[in-house]
Each structure stands twice: as C-alpha cells, then as structure tokens.
Amino acid sequence: MSRKPVHLAVYDTYADWETGHATAYLARAGYEIRTAGPSREPVTSVGGLRVQPACALDDVRPSESSLLILPGADLWDAGDDLAPFARKAREFLDAGVPVAAICGATAGLAREGLLDDREHTSAVSFYLAATGYAGGERYVDADAVTDRGLITAGPTEPVAFAREIFRLLGVYDAEVLDAWYRLFHDSDAEAYAVLEKAQASG
C-alpha cells in the first residue's frame, strides 16, 4: 500500500533522541521519512549530528504528508526562529493532517495557540504556563496525549510518543502496539514473541 511520507522537522539544536523510535519503526512499516528544515541548508542536532534536510519547510504541503513530527530543541525557548514550524503545524491541523510534538515543540505550539482548546501534555505544566498560553486547564499529567490529531509528550517519553504516533496512523493493531510499548518501555521480554509472530505473519 502506498503511503504519503512522514515529515520530520529538523533544525539546529533539535533533540535527536526524541524521535528515533518513531521514525525507525515508521520506516520499517513502509513510510518514507522526509526531513524538513528551515531551508535546505544543513542543521546540527544537540548531539552534534549534521543533517541535510530533504526539503525546506515552505515546500511542505499537508496534502502530501501523513504526519508532521516536531522534536524539541533549545531554539524553541530562545526566540522566534522556530515559530514558522508552529505555524506549519496549524496549517496541518487545519487541513486534518496530524501533528506530533515533543518537549520544547509543545511550548512552540502553546505560543501558537494550538493547545488552548486541546488536551495536551509536556515536560511539566509550569513549563507551558510560562508561555502565557490559555490552555492550562487542558494540561494532562500523562506520558503522551492525543487530542483531535495532535500528539504531545514530554522529553522523557520518546517511547510513549512513538506509541501514540503508531496508534494514530494505525501502524499496528492493539495487541502488537501494546507489545511494542512493553518491549521498548518496560523491557518486557515476553512482548518480543508477540512482535516476532506479527512480523512473521505480516
């Protein structure tokens, strides 16, 4: 089955550990992962990885995408350099295409007003409160939250973040998704047999 690509936003200081589970297993499930940067100039992650974006943000169209993933980055809290990515998230959501934001990207979405009327989470509630957003009553103390096409998670929950992405896109059925989460989050060796069986039959 042909699937539209998943777009992974990349920018200087992006947190490379936060999206690895999601992108690796989306790729294994047949999704093309396309990196989108502020331009097509290389960017450097917080871990020092130099990445050449496949496309510029301005060239990303919701109609040509399955999902936009926004990782955290020091730049989210250092000014307005990444505001265009939050605006692109609004464009995606308005078009009915999902968005997944983790760590500092949740603050960017809060500043854009995208969390005012959706349940959401982040690192801690007061981190988002510092943005002055109006959605504080919608904050949920959970590992990851999905509400009307928007996934949010804190920086310590890359596995739960991936789980919600897989659930939203229908990558795995419920039993396999539960096993995937138990294996990578809880180191539950029994879950491996479920995944191995699903892979063999898939």
Q: What is the DSSP string of 124-141?
A: -HHHHHTTT-S-GGGB--
Round to whole Å and give the CA distance between 33 and 200: 24
Q: Is 103 a catalytic residue?
A: yes
* Cα three-residue angle 131-136-139, rounded to 5 degrees: 110
Amino acid symbol at 55? C
> Annotated catalytic residue: which of 10, 36, 93, 103?
103
CA 33 to chain centre: 12
Would you please indicate which residues are annotated as catalytic (active-site) residues? 103
